[in-house]
């Protein structure tokens, strides 16, 4: 990671100014016939790397704070977070300012590129608006507002900051239709950079950087969840492939958490609040949802098994069983942490089951539809994932051929009429008249369910 300020080598121009692409004060002074003394600040601490400054040839005066108006973003120019300030100015005393090479007070505004100002404004928008939408449990408010930016600035990667700015830009785009197109581009660019870094470094995570990567993975998933929930506003059509790709991101969180034991995660640092268990209510031992899951288990057992321990049949059965376990433990729980707990389910899925969703496997889509019914009451009243369950359910339903849709009528009623699965009527028994192959949709049917 490039440090923002290094000692000047006193060349003309100096290497610092060449690297930052700014006018060197030593050259200017030489052209004026004299070299003015320049005070240098000491290098920043190694433990606090600063994100790389976005190189941008255009300059403009500093813009006004939020609302974010009058600033144009160049998506093709961005290669790093447009957030690091120009060469630092450090106060040495009440009347003295240390200025790094190439920086004079008279020229200060020239260094504030539009992208840099915009990123400052997006961070301000996160600090005043967005963090509140992430806080369902008041105990986590400090985490979202203070801890996340702190780790973003001190972590070894700038990707977390990119993800924070991406989420802030997405929120701003949705809240401000007149600037929707511009800030969707901003959000997409930051999200792409964050995701590239996350994917490339998933195998380089250790105990020293795992906190930053845990938050990075969380924000990347939040971005995909927000994009899914707001698909109509963003002009997107969500497919099972999109859903599967978002679930893979939660698998990444599971990989990160394997770096340390759960006890270490809970005992070590500010993220422990996300993993603490509230006092849950009495486990549910019966009810309409559990009865429905029994019917799904019977359906999954009719899939053809193989000698491989992880196959279509076992992957679907495992998905149903973990869904049952989560409902038994949290399905009657109104504690603030419950919205987080239900998202444990995607983290337990096998890669094969996620692949089955992506491929439009009917039984996998039916199971996914029942998860959306469970998670709907836990959606945020804010923009974060409000409407996610309905969008994902529609993606599953539209990918099923007509003969399979009777299996999702029960969760469909729960979602459309906004009925908690605990308050739904007990499901009727579905006759075992299995669909035949060669459906009009062309989806692949489970082999043991084929009728020759």
pLDDT tens readout for residues 261-274: 888 887 776 777 77
Instruction: Please state whether the predicted TM-score (pTM) of the whole model is above 0.85.
Output: no
- CA 80, chain centre distance (Å): 18
Q: pLDDT: is 42 or 239 the higher one?
A: 239
Mean pLDDT of the 398-409 span: 94
In this prediction, residue 144 carries a pLDDT of: 92
Q: Give percent of the chain above pLDDT 70.
A: 65
Q: Are 257 and 214 in contact (CB under 8 A)?
A: yes
Is residue 90's pLDDT more than 50? no
**91-94: Cβ within 8 A, 24+ apart:** 92/39
Give yes or no for a contact between 249 and 217, defined as CB atoms under 8 angstroms apart.
yes
Q: Confirm if 114 and 60 have CB atoms less than 8 A apart.
A: yes
Q: Is the pLDDT of residue 368 over 90?
A: yes
Tokens standing for residue 344: 């444990």
- Asked whether the beta carbons of 235 and 394 are under 8 A apart, the reply is no
Higher-scoring residue by pLDDT: 243, 336: 243
| Mean per-residue pLDDT, 74-101 | 40
Enter the tokens of residue 198: 């996350």
Contact 36, 29 (CB under 8 A): yes
What own/partner pairs with CB < 8 Å and gap ≥ 24 does 258-266 have?
259/205, 259/206, 259/207, 259/210, 260/207, 260/210
Q: Number of C-alpha atoms within 13 angstroms, CB side, residue 23? A: 13
pLDDT for 195-224, tens place per residue?
Answer: 888 888 878 888 888 888 999 999 999 999
User: Do 33 and 188 contact (CB within 8 A), yes or no?
Assistant: no
Cβ–Cβ < 8 Å for 160, 151: yes
More confident residue, 394 or 76: 394
Provide the token pair at 172: 């701003």
Given pLDDT bands bounded at 50, 70 and 90, which one contains residue 25? low
Residue 428 is predicted with a pLDDT of 83
Q: How far apart are CA 376 and CA 421, in angstroms?
A: 9
Contact 313, 305 (CB under 8 A): yes
Q: Write out the two tokens for 256.
A: 């990160």
Closest CA to 41 of 99, 125, 111: 99
Q: How far apart are CA 184 and CA 227, in angstroms?
A: 10
Residues 6+ apart with CB under 8 A from 180: 173, 174
Instruction: For residues 393 and 264, give the distance between their C-alpha atoms in angstroms, rounded to a whole number.
Output: 37
Whether a cis peptide bond, with omega within 30° of 0, leads into 342 is: no
């Amino acid at each position: 990671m490039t440090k923002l300020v290094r000692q000047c080598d006193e060349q003309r121009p100096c290497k610092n100014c060449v690297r930052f692409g700014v006018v060197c004060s030593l050259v200017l002074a030489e052209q004026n016939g004299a070299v003015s003394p320049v005070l240098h600040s000491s290098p920043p601490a190694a433990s606090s790397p600063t994100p790389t400054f976005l190189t941008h040839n255009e300059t403009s005066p500093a813009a006004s704070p939020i609302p974010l108006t009058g600033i144009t973003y160049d998506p093709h120019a961005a290669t790093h977070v447009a957030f690091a300030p120009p060469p630092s100015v450090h106060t040495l005393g009440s009347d003295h300012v240390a200025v790094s090479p190439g920086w004079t007070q008279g020229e200060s505004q020239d260094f504030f590129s539009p992208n840099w100002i915009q990123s400052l404004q997006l961070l301000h928008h996160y600090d005043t608006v967005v963090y509140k939408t992430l806080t369902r449990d008041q105990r986590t408010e400090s985490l979202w507002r203070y801890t996340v930016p702190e780790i973003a600035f001190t972590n070894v990667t700038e990707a977390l900051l990119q993800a924070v700015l991406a989420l802030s830009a997405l929120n701003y785009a949705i809240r401000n239709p007149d600037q929707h197109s511009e800030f969707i581009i901003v959000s997409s660019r930051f999200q792409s950079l964050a995701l590239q870094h996350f994917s490339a470094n998933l195998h380089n995570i250790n105990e020293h950087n795992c906190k930053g990567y845990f938050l990075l993975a969380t924000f990347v998933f939040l971005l995909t969840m927000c994009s899914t929930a707001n698909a109509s506003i963003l002009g997107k059509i969500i497919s099972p492939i999109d859903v599967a790709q978002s679930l893979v991101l939660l698998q990444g969180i599971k990989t990160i958490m394997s770096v340390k034991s759960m006890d270490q995660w809970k005992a070590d640092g500010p993220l422990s609040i996300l993993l603490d268990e509230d006092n849950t209510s009495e486990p549910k031992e019966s009810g309409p949802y559990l009865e429905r899951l029994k019917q799904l288990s019977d359906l999954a057992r009719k899939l053809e098994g193989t000698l491989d321990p992880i196959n279509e049949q076992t992957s679907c059965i495992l998905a149903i069983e973990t869904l049952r376990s989560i409902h038994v433990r949290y399905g009657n729980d109104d504690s603030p942490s419950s919205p987080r707990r239900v998202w444990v389910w995607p983290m337990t899925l096998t890669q094969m089951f996620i692949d089955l969703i992506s491929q439009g496997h009917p039984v996998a889509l039916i199971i996914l539809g029942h998860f959306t019914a469970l998670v709907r009451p836990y959606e945020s009243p804010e923009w974060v994932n409000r409407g996610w369950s309905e969008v994902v359910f529609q993606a599953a339903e539209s990918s099923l051929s007509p003969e399979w849709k009777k299996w999702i009528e029960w969760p469909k009623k729960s979602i459309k009429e906004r009925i908690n699965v605990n308050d739904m009527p007990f499901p009727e028994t579905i006759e075992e008249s299995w669909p035949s192959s060669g459906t009009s949709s062309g989806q692949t049917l489970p082999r043991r369910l084929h009728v020759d």
